[in-house]
Structure 1
Amino acid sequence: MTTSYVLAGGCFWCLDAVYRGVRGVSDVVSGYTGGDTENPDYRSVCTGTTGHAEAVRIDFDENVIPGDVVLDMFFTLHDPRQLNRQGNDIGTQYRSAMFPADESQREKFAAALERADELWGGSTVTTIEPLGTWWEAEDYHQDYFAKNPGNGYCQAVAVPKVRKVRAGFAEWMQ
């Protein structure tokens, strides 16, 4: 059975790059959620006025990889102590947030947030927010890292995150 988590932790290119290399993950889709603007696009989300976050929907098989591992990877691949930013990406669209689809996911996300808070010394700012409407990002954002491996941002920001997760979760990588 496929489970889907929607997570935001900075630029969606980095989350996409990490999760596409994980065993049991069948799809990663970049998109926008958490705001109130209908049909947001990248340009409007980047203004920070839509309320949406850049996020990914991760579809995975819990018979292959436990949901807790997917969430622990999330808290490893970005810095959940940074409010409305990741590095030089600044604005509410880059916030650290989890968007549960139901109460069961909300409970799992809350437990993962507690584990992360212990790991990060009690200073996480990650929010758990209503999922709301999911808006798929433009085609050129899908699997961006694989399509643009030489991109400077990917080399400077995504590659270190991929390496960090690969080192900490080697048994779950493809």
Structure 2
Amino acid sequence: MKHFFIPTFIFLLISCGNNAQQKTVTKPEIANADPVEVEAEDGFEKAYFASGCFWCVEAIYESVEGVKEVVSGYAGGHTKNPTYEKSNTGKTGHAEAVEVIYNPNVVSFETLVEVYYGSQDPTQVNGQGPDIGSQYRSLIFFQNEQQKQTIEKVKKDVAKNYKKPLAAEILPFQKFWKAEAYHQNYEKNNLNNPYIQKVSIPRLNRFKDKFPDILKKEAH
């Protein structure tokens, strides 16, 4: 489980979770499946991303203009009804992920993909920052061929800036499982948590410095 009340002096020993698994566990039947397309609701579309602790990723996307809401959850695995405790073992195949509900007339899917690659270390394999293990691996999901081509286009442009290969797996979307209630809006609701102070907020601030033109005016 995540460490909620740990003194700052041992922060380097903590992460978003502690039962890390070292190997990527995406099964071939997941990677080779036909993508599932999620219908728009009231003009809002949904996109799905994973890049480390969902506390961090949720806060980043919620600061983007045109994003209505971000939900923390699990995706990319082979088990049904994953829980935090089970996914944190790495054995479910799921990664901590987010569902981004957005207005495509305000922010494009391509911009969301640019945010994805630009808000993490895209070369880090099987984790992000201090969070190591398959449950923190980077996954980016497409729902149709057009989205897949958009992801590949952005990936190609981003890769020019790095000597190492980009680590994110590009997968056909299958299903998103919503995480437990206490994970939702975690960064906003737990500003004094050592992990939030030392990892989430600095990561959010780096993103905001990099993408000032797409931020909500009220972005915290």
Q: Which runs of 5+ in 2 are unaligned?
A: 1-42
Tell me what 1:83 maps to: 125
Tell me what 1:39 maps to: 81
Q: Which amino acid counterpart does residue 140 of structure 2 have in structure 1? A: M
**What's the CA shift for 1:89?**
0.8
Moved more, 29-38 or 106-115: 106-115
Tell me what 1:61 maps to: 103
TM-score, length-normalised on structure 2? 0.76
Tell me what 1:164 maps to: 206
Moved more, 68-77 or 37-46: 68-77
Q: Which amino acid counterpart does residue 144 of structure 1 have in structure 2? A: Y
**What's the CA shift for 1:131?**
1.5
Structure 1 or 2, whichever has the larger Rg, is 2
Q: Which secondary structure does the structure 2 equivalent of 1:75 belong to?
A: helix
Q: Which runs of 5+ in 1 are unaligned?
A: none
Q: Which secondary structure does the structure 2 equivalent of 1:99 belong to?
A: strand
| Selected match of 1:127 from 169, 172, 183 | 169
Task: Supply the distance in 2 between the matched residues of 1:120 and 1:145 (Cα, whole angstroms).
Answer: 30
Q: Which secondary structure does the structure 2 equivalent of 1:8 belong to?
A: strand
Q: Which secondary structure does the structure 1 equivalent of 2:71 belong to?
A: strand
Residues 22-44 of structure 1, C-alpha deviations (whole Å, 9 max, x = no match): 11001101111111111000000
The answer to which structure has the higher helix fraction is: 1
Tell me what 1:154 maps to: 196
**Contact 1:10 1:86 (C-alpha < 8 Å) held by counterparts:** yes
**Contact 1:76 1:164 (C-alpha < 8 Å) held by counterparts:** no
Identical-pair percentage? 37
Tell me what 1:27 maps to: 69
| Selected match of 1:143 from 173, 180, 185 | 185
Task: Supply the distance in 2 between the matched residues of 1:158 and 1:107 (Cα, whole angstroms).
Answer: 30
Give the number of aligned pairs: 174
Task: Supply the distance in 1 between the matched residues of 2:45 and 2:163 (Cα, whole angstroms).
Answer: 30
Task: Supply the distance in 2 between the matched residues of 1:26 and 1:122 (Cα, whole angstroms).
Answer: 34
